[in-house]
Amino acid sequence: MSAGWLRACALVLIGLFSVSALAKDKQSTAIVVGGGLAGLTAAYELQNKGWQVTLLEAKPDMGGRSGLAASEWIGNSKAQPVLNSYLDAFKLSTLPAPEFVRVPSYLIDGEYFTAADLATKQPATAEALKRYEKTLDELAASISDPENPAANSTLFALDQINVSNWLDKLQLPTTARQLVNQQIRTRYDEPSRLSLLYFAQQTRVYRGVSDRDLRAARLPGGSPVLAQAFVKQLKTIKTSSPVSAITQDKDGVTVSVGTVSYKADYVVLAVPLRALNKIQLTPSLDTLHLNAIKGTNYGWRDQLMLKFSNPVWDSKARLSGEIYSNTGLGMLWIEPAIKGGANVIINLSGDNARLLQTFGDKQMADQVLIRLHAFYPKARGAFTGYEIRRYSTDPGTGGAYLAFGPGQISKYWRLWERPVQRVVFAGEHTDALYPGTLEGALRSGQRAASQVQGLSAGKSFDPVSAAPVAAAAAVAAKESKGGFFSNLFGGSDKAASKPVEKVAEVPAQPVPAPVAPVAAPVIAPAPVAAPQAKVEPVKTAPVKKAPAKAQPAKKPVAKAEAVKKPAAQAKPAPAKEQAAKKPAAKPATVADAKS
């Protein structure tokens, strides 16, 4: 062999070695779309794993959906373990919640009742509430695995029933039913729009977690403070960057914000379903995904904050907390202001929130102020302004949070936990156990980050396995004989023996109409004249008294600051830039989940 030939071989070997060393050294890249808590978590976790991450957020501010409350209630680590672990990691301290706010209370025809008051003053209502809770608990207990709630045909059948029909069977006295309706619409959505299986599954998730665990502490500054803690850790964030299109091929993804393109190995899509609908994906999602985007029910919940120069409710102080009214007025929060002033936050949920879309912001604030003033005569004088958050009509959310409607678990269960090639999904709506919460958003971000890591290591994510309904039918039939389910369905085994195929054919629920008929609208014509309000009277019984009496007040939420860091890592790529040279990870199996 000649020396020249040897030299040539050596050069080739050195060349090969350098290329492989370079490939090894190349930092993996990911783009996260959406700067809510899910996207922030995914970006943070990926960055910690050594990824080069660029976070693109449509709005000027980071943090996404977060309530108006400046001092949000936080569950303890039993109720919200992931949330608490991040609070610890970022050294964000919470304040223990006063004992009296840790359990819900009631406002019945304007009169305030603790649970104990109710037992002595309205025993029939208290008894009925207990009966409801016991029946619901039994229903929840029948789900052995909340990650697989439709494990047998009987449970599967619950997905075809709405919560309102189930409540009808309980024949609760009127006041108890009103309070139950209000609690359900506040936490999820209108009972008539909610899958009974979803309601039971969520109750199962929180079984053993008491109200006291759920409102164990308060986070001063609210969830925007947590969002800012994530923001501080991230190297590359681009606000005011609404993503319009994502194209993926075997080598990577190209993410477009108008005419600007970004390239990366993977993308995490951490936006709510209605926002996802506005992003053009190439190749397109399959029909199941597209149907889920359009059809999955979101609960409606808007928040109105009335601000006062000082607490006007001192004399009749009703202590702050979760208060359910039987008159359709949503859950109330009356909280001490952190820096002077006093705020009242009123949550308007379900069909009440849908109805209120016909009111302008000012009209809505006026109408609620009128009622507050009737109860606390200093209210109007101390009133300094209001803020309204209408999540329900925000095109970026299209609702407050996921709340599966009838038939939707059967079709879409854990659909968004499966990556579609190089696209991984995150967001509260993708979490099986804690949708609609901060906990769910954070968990989904963690899951998405580890999926991206897994994909890059060549892992494939198979469809989440669920017990085949047909195989479980025999078990269900056994369970249903003369037992709990028979009672649930009025002594018949109809649901258990219903053919599974038929159940699976129930069509997706249509996206809720912007304004739906309601049983007990929030705002009734007021006796006190509002200065500016020109409100069409709503045909219902007037709210008899004003909202709850409360504690000292609190300050408005400080808006999360817009973050505009220079794009140190992922740089805008020219539109026709070559795709990144990283070898394609094995594409994940796209589930064709036809339940």
Ligand X SMILES: Cc1cc2nc3c(=O)[nH]c(=O)nc-3n(C[C@H](O)[C@H](O)[C@H](O)COP(=O)(O)OP(=O)(O)OC[C@H]3O[C@@H](n4cnc5c(N)ncnc54)[C@H](O)[C@@H]3O)c2cc1C
Nearer to ligand X, 158 or 246 (CB): 246
Over 131-166, what HEC string results?
HHHHHHHHHHHCCCCCCCCCCCHHHHHHCCCEHHHH
Nearer Cβ to ligand X, position 242 or 587?
242
CB of residue 570 to ligand X, shortest distance in Å: 14
Burial 87-101 (b: 16+ CB within 10 A, else e): beeeebebeebeeeb
Helix (H) or strand (E) holding 267: strand 266-269
Query: Which C-beta is closer to ligand X: that of 269 or that of 495?
Result: 269
Judge contact between 363 and 356, C-beta under 8 A.
no
Locate 279 and state its tokens.
């992003």
> Would you say 336 or 398 has its CB closer to ligand X?
398
Q: With respect to ligand X, which residue has the nearer C-beta, 184 or 500? A: 184
* Cβ 312 to ligand X shortest distance, Å: 24
> Among residues 115 and 279, whose Cβ is nearest to ligand X?
279
Q: Determine the 3-state secondary structure of 414 from DSSP.
A: coil
Tell me which long-range contacts 371-374 makes (C-beta under 8 A, separation of at least 24). 371/329, 371/526, 371/543, 371/545, 371/546, 371/547, 372/306, 372/312, 372/344, 372/546, 372/547, 373/528, 373/546, 374/526, 374/527, 374/528, 374/545, 374/546
Say which residues have a Cβ less than 8 Å from residue 14's Cβ, sequence separation at least 6: none
* Closest distance to ligand X from the beta carbon of 87 (Å): 12
- Return the number of the residue (272 or 350) whose C-beta is nearest ligand X: 272
Q: How far is the CB of 578 from ligand X (least distance, A)?
A: 25
The token pair at 326 is: 């039987």
Nearest distance from residue 428's CB to ligand X, in Å?
A: 3
Least distance to ligand X, CB of residue 571, Å: 18
Interacting residues toward ligand X by CB under 6 A: 33-39, 56-59, 64-67, 72-73, 242-243, 270-272, 275, 279, 301, 303, 391, 396-397, 400-401, 427-428, 436-441
- Which two three-digit tokens encode residue 393? 């009509």
Nearer to ligand X, 198 or 376 (CB): 198
Instruction: Tell me how far, at minimum, the Cβ of 553 lies from ligand X, in Å.
Output: 19
Beta bridge partners of 301: 349
Beta strands 298-299 and 253-257 are unpaired
Query: Cβ of residue 539: shortest distance to ligand X, in angstroms?
Result: 27
Nearest-approach distance from CB 189 to ligand X, in angstroms: 12
DSSP states of 494-531 as a string? HHHHS-HHHHHTPPPPPPPPSS---SS-S----SSPPS
* Burial zone of 415 (CB within 10 Å; 0-12 exposed, 13-18 middle, 19+ buried): buried
Neighbours of 330 (CB within 10 A): 26
Our CB check for ligand X shows the closer of 361 and 505 to be 361
43 versus 379: smaller Cβ distance to ligand X: 43
Query: Structure tokens of 423?
Result: 């696209």
- Using DSSP bridges, classify how beta strands 342-349 and 280-282 pair: parallel, antiparallel or unpaired: unpaired
| C-alpha to C-alpha distance for 222 and 555, rounded to whole angstroms | 11
- H helix runs in 61-195, sequence order: 81-89, 115-121, 123-141, 153-158, 163-170, 174-187
The smaller minimum CB distance to ligand X, of residues 419 and 440, is found at: 440
Query: Sheet of 52-56: strands edge to edge?
Result: 237-238, 52-56, 29-33, 266-269, 423-425
Inter-CA distances, 413 with 246, 271, 410, 423, 466, Å: 24, 18, 6, 18, 9
| CB 142, min distance to ligand X, A | 26
CB of 501 to ligand X, least distance (A): 34
- Stated length of the chain: 595
Find the shortest distance in angstroms from Cβ 401 to ligand X: 5
Nearer CB in complex with ligand X: 152/343: 343
Measured in whole angstroms, the distance separating CA 232 from the mean position of its chain's CA atoms is 24
Q: Looking at beta carbons only, is 302 or 366 nearer to ligand X?
A: 302
Three-point CA angle 365, 370, 371, nearest 5°: 105
